[in-house]
Amino acid sequence: MAQVEATTERIVAADAEKVFDAVADYSGTRPKLLSEHFSEYEVREGGDGEGTLVHWKLQATSKRVRDCLLEVSEPTDGELVEKDRNSSMVTTWRVTPAGEGKSRVVVTTTWDGAGGIGGFFEKTFAPKGLGRIYDVVLDKLATEVEG
């Protein structure tokens, strides 16, 4: 099994602390950022960063739906890690300053891919698909925090 990785990034015109707070706000801001690929969103514990337990279904393709139950941790300043209890999927959000009043937001998702030919196609196409999903999330994040 090979590890599959998808990374998306964006510069947002807002300071890093404000952007990070928005990303970590699972009970308020986060649901507004999700694209139509996410459903059944529910905060089960916490709701703000470290210690949050959040559930959603992610429909990456018409046939592929992941039922995600994510434990949230904040290992370092500006970093939020979502570990799925139902799979090997881990999504890391990193928010860092990128000049005066700007932030760089990098979202990286990794998981253990399938083996064989299915794994080849997963490693080839899944990162692009997930990247498109997170592009929408980052667009909505920018709209939410800029201005």
- Tell me the pLDDT tens digit for each residue of 51-98: 999 999 999 888 889 999 999 999 999 999 999 999 999 999 999 999
Calculate the CA 41 to chain-centre distance.
13
Give the strands of the sheet with 90-97, arranged side by side: 3-12, 103-112, 90-97, 79-84, 65-73, 53-59, 38-45
pLDDT in tens, 99-142: 999 999 999 999 998 888 888 888 888 889 899 999 999 999 99
pLDDT at 123: 83
CA distance linking residue 4 with residue 113, whole number of Å: 6
Question: What does the pLDDT read at residue 146?
Answer: 95
Residue 89 and residue 143: Cα distance in Å, rounded?
A: 27
Q: 119, 29 in Cβ contact below 8 A?
A: no
For residue 57, the one-letter residue type is K
Residue 48 Cα distances to 7, 44, 72, 82, 89, angstroms: 23, 11, 9, 12, 21
Phi and psi at 23, nearest 5°, equal -65, -40
- pTM to 2 decimal places: 0.93
User: Domain extents for the chain?
Assistant: 3-146
The architecture of the domain spanning 3-146 is: 2-Layer Sandwich (3.30)
pLDDT band at 1 (very low <50, low <70, confident <90, very high): low
